[in-house]
Structure 1
Amino acid sequence: MKEYKFEKLELKSFSREPKEDYHEIIREAAKDGWELVQIFAPGTSSYGAASFFEIIFSRDVD
């Protein structure tokens, strides 16, 4: 069985760059046994551009 964790990463309004270092978020999650599944960017703001990323992790449940 798996459990999942979702990290929401906001983007800067004009440059659309992440407000945080997503590489570091992934590294820190991996230290706790989480495995990256997907980085999802829904088109939710003007012109269909994403306003945030959602980083999805999973790990086995004992």
Structure 2
Amino acid sequence: MYEYSFVKIELNVWGSKPKEDYQDIIHRYASKGWRLVQIFAPSTKGYGSAAYFELIFEKPLN
């Protein structure tokens, strides 16, 4: 069995750049035993770009 954690990363409206350093988040979670499973990008907003994406992590249950 695994447990999962979902981290939502908001994107700036202009330029669609992440508001947070996603690489830093991935390194931080990895140091705590989490494994990155997927980066999920939802469907786009009305003008063609996503408002956010999610990092999905897993680790075995203790």
> Which TM bucket (shorter chain)?
over 0.9
Match of 1:25 in 2: 25
Unaligned 5+ residue runs, structure 1?
none
- 1:36 aligns to what? 36
TM-score (norm 2): 0.93
In the alignment of these two chains, the number of paired residues is 62
CA distance in 1, matches of 2:27, 2:46: 31
1:55 aligns to 2:55 (yes or no)? yes
* TM-score of the pair, normalised by structure 1: 0.93
1 or 2, which has the higher helix percentage? 1
Q: Which runs of 4+ in 1 moved over 2 A?
A: none
CA RMSD of aligned residues (A): 1.0
Q: Offset of 1:31 from its aligned partner?
A: 0.7
